[in-house]
Structures are given as C-alpha cells and as structure tokens.
C-alpha cells in the first residue's frame, strides 16, 4: 500500500498551497497569486529535469499542451478568485464535482453511459453539496442549493471543476506521449511563462510584491512542486481512479485549514457534506 502515501501527500501539499494562497490574497490580487502558484513552483520542478530522460515527443503531446494552456490559465485565475471571495471550507468541496462532470463529458465524447454506481455517486455528491449549506434549509427545502448560486466563490469553483474534468484527460494524453516526470518538470514552467504577461498587465505597479512576500510565495511554490511530483508519480504507480479517490482528501485538509487558520464558521456542516461528496467520488471512480 505504499502507493497510498503518494496521492495522500499530494492532497496535503495541494491543500497547504490553497491555504497559503488564501493568506496571500489578503494583500495581493488573484492574478499575482495565480502566477506565484506556478511561477514559484517552476524553479523547483526544473531542478529535476537534468536527472530524467527526455522522451521522444510527438504531435499529440504538443496538441495536448496547446489545448491545456488556455484552459488551465482560466481555471487557475478562477480558482484564486474562488478562494479569495469565499471560505476554503465552502469552495474546495466543489472540486469533487470533477469526476461527476467527467461522466457526462465521457458520455458526450465517447458514448459511455451511466451505470448504477455512477447514478449513486452523483446522488451522494448532490446530497453532499446540499449539506454544505444545510443550515439555510429552515428558509426552504431548496435554499441550500440557492445559497450556492449566491456564493460567487462556489460558482467559480464549480466552473473550475468542469474545466478540470476536461484538462485531466488532456493531461493524461500528454503523459502517455511523454513521461510523468518530464511532464511534471516542464508543464508548470510553460504555464508560468504564458501567465507572466497577464501578471504584468494586472500588476504593473505592484510587481515589487514578488520580492516583499518572497517567503510565503516560496512556500506556495514548494508545496505546488511537491504536489505536482507526487501526483504524477502516483499516476505512474497505480491506476488513476485510486489516485483520484485518495487525492480528494485534500477537501478535508482544506476544511481543517479553514477551521484552524482562518476560523471559518459552520465547519461541522461542511465537513459532513465534504465526506459525503468524497464517498460519491469513490463510488464513481472505483466501481
């Protein structure tokens, strides 16, 4: 069961980066922190490049990268907007919707149909989403779902989850046509280069923040670098459904950070809702 610790470590490092990003967003805008998330991770990832073999790259690798970059750029900015606007304990659980969206995208693109486990998983995930705002049910049975619509951070994260349902397939395609460690070492530096003009455009008079807050930014970069490496090593070691199932524990780590570090309210409801959503994801991915 040594493989278990790879996606579990990835979940911890991802949630830690999310918490550090939310802390940074108190003084910096989402465009700067979005770039920091990949830009400060890039040097750590490039350090492993001399120690790995460069695979033979084909047109499918470059095509996957070409499609990934605009999607990941959009998702990353919306991700930062989400955790800036709303509590971690309310936004991060919606990342569990990615496998749900993948069911429908697979149906659309591949003609695959829902089985009974997919239906059960979707039902559990919907129940979990309801429980995130269950305290509002006294105003009406549909009020918890309406509360999601009123929370912009939640809506942004739902869009991110949908984008990730597409990029996860593209990332797998890029790995199959290169190698896990090569993709891990090169993709984020490329993404950081693409995002840099956006950073300058949105922060032309605040670029000094990159130096003033270099300590916390370096921690974000290190956490993302470890998350990236452990993710792709996990994908290389064990089947993706197992990796996804364990990685979703990042939601629980995120809620713990929200409770301890940011003193967020209604943690019990959100913890129960997240556990139910994770149960739905596990049923979808493993059965």
Averaged pLDDT for residues 242-262 = 85
List Cβ neighbours of 200 (8 Å cut-off, separation of 6 or more). 207
Q: What is the pLDDT of residue 106?
A: 59
At residue 284, does pLDDT exceed 90? no
Q: What percentage of the chain's residues is helix, strand, coil (to nearest 5)?
A: 85, 0, 15
Averaged pLDDT for residues 145-167 = 85
At residue 142, does pLDDT exceed 80? no
263: left (phi over 0), alpha (psi -120 to 50) or beta: left
Residue 97 has what DSSP assignment?
Answer: G
Structural domain boundaries of the chain? 2-286
Please state, for a pLDDT cut of 90, what percent of the chain lies above it.
39
List Cβ neighbours of 124 (8 Å cut-off, separation of 6 or more). 276, 277, 279, 280, 283
Segment 183-208, tens digit of pLDDT:
989 999 999 999 999 888 888 777 77
Averaged pLDDT for residues 91-108 = 76
The answer to whether 195 and 76 are in contact (CB under 8 A) is: yes
Q: What is the pLDDT of residue 112?
A: 54
Q: What is the pLDDT of residue 79?
A: 95
Most confident of 114-118, 129-133, 187-191: 187-191
Enumerate the H helices of 203-239 as residue ranges: 209-212, 214-237
Longest Cα pair distance anywhere in the chain, in angstroms? Answer: 60
Averaged pLDDT for residues 263-274 = 86
Averaged pLDDT for residues 219-248 = 84
Segment 24-41, tens digit of pLDDT:
998 888 999 999 999 999
Nearest Cα to 23, choosing from 111, 84, 74?
A: 84
Res. 73 pLDDT band, cuts 50 70 90: very high
What whole-number distance in Å separates Cα of residue 249 and Cα of residue 263?
Answer: 20
Most confident of 32-41, 94-103, 237-246, 266-275: 32-41
Q: Which of 54-58, 178-182, 276-280 has the lowest mean pLDDT?
A: 276-280
Please state, for a pLDDT cut of 70, what percent of the chain lies above it.
90
At residue 147, does pLDDT exceed 90? no
Q: What is the pLDDT of residue 1?
A: 52
Averaged pLDDT for residues 175-187 = 89
Q: What is the pLDDT of residue 122?
A: 75
Q: What is the pLDDT of residue 102?
A: 73
More confident: 30 or 287: 30
Res. 170 pLDDT band, cuts 50 70 90: confident
């Amino acid at each position: 069961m040594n493989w278990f610790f790879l996606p579990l470590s990835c979940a911890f490092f991802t949630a830690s980066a999310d918490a550090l990003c939310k802390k940074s967003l108190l003084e910096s805008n989402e465009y700067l922190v979005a770039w920091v998330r990949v830009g400060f991770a890039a040097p750590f990832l490039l350090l492993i490049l001399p120690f790995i073999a460069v695979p033979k790259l084909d047109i499918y690798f470059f095509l996957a990268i070409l499609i990934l970059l605009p999607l990941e750029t959009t998702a990353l900015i919306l991700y930062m907007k989400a955790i800036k606007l709303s509590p971690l304990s309310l936004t991060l659980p919606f990342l569990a919707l990615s496998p749900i969206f993948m069911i429908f995208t697979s149906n659309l693109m591949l003609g695959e149909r829902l089985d009974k486990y997919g239906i059960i998983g979707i039902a559990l995930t919907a129940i979990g989403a309801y429980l995130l705002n269950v305290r509002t049910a006294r105003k009406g049975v549909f009020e918890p779902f309406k509360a999601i619509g009123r929370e912009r951070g939640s809506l942004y994260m739902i869009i991110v989850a949908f984008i990730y349902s597409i990029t996860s397939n593209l990332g797998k395609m890029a790995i199959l046509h290169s190698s896990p460690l090569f993709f891990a070492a090169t993709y984020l530096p490329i993404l950081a280069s693409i995002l840099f003009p956006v950073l300058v455009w949105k922060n032309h008079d605040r670029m000094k923040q990159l130096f003033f807050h270099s300590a916390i930014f370096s921690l974000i970069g290190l956490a993302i670098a470890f998350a990236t490496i452990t993710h792709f090593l996990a994908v290389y070691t064990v089947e993706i459904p197992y990796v996804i199932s364990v990685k979703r524990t990042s939601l629980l780590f995120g809620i713990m950070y929200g409770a301890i570090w940011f003193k967020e309210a209604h943690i019990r409801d959100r913890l129960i809702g997240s556990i139910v959503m994770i149960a739905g994801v596990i049923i979808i991915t493993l059965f």
